[in-house]
Amino acid sequence: MNSVVEHTYELSILAKAIQHKNLSTAANHVGLSQPQLSRLIQRLESVFKVVLLDRSSRRKSGWTTTANDLAKAYLRGMGRFEAEILSVTKDREVNQLRVASLEGLADIAMDFTYHFFEKLNMRKIDLDILDYRELDSSFLAGQLDVIFTARPPSSQKFKYLAEVGYQQNKRISNNHDFLVMSPFEWMQANNSEIQGFKRIIISNSLLIRGRWLEERGGTGTLPVDAKRGKGKGFYSIYMIGNDLLSPKFWEDLLSLT
* Structure confidence by residue, pLDDT tens digits, 53-86: 887 765 667 899 999 888 888 887 776 666 566 6
| Angle between the N-to-C axes of helices 8-17 and 34-48, in degrees from 0 to 180, rounded to the nearest 10 | 120
pLDDT at res. 1: 45
Q: What does the pLDDT look like over 112-140, one tens digit per residue? A: 999 999 999 899 999 999 988 889 888 88
| 250 and 147 inside one domain | yes
Give the CATH number, domain containing residue 73.
1.10.10.10
Sheet holding 219-228, edge to edge: 124-129, 96-101, 146-149, 235-241, 160-173, 219-228, 178-181, 199-202
| 234 and 116 inside one domain | yes
Give the CATH number, domain containing residue 142.
3.40.190.290
Please tell me the distance from the alpha carbon of residue 72 to that of residue 14, in angstroms, as a whole number.
10
| Angle between the N-to-C axes of helices 8-17 and 65-89, in degrees from 0 to 180, rounded to the nearest 10 | 120
State how many domains the chain has: 2
Q: List Cα–Cα distances, 29 to 151, 157, 171, 250, 255, in angstroms.
A: 11, 12, 27, 24, 29
Domain final residue pick, 57, 89, 121: 89
Give the N- to C-terminal CA distance of the chain in Å, as an integer.
43
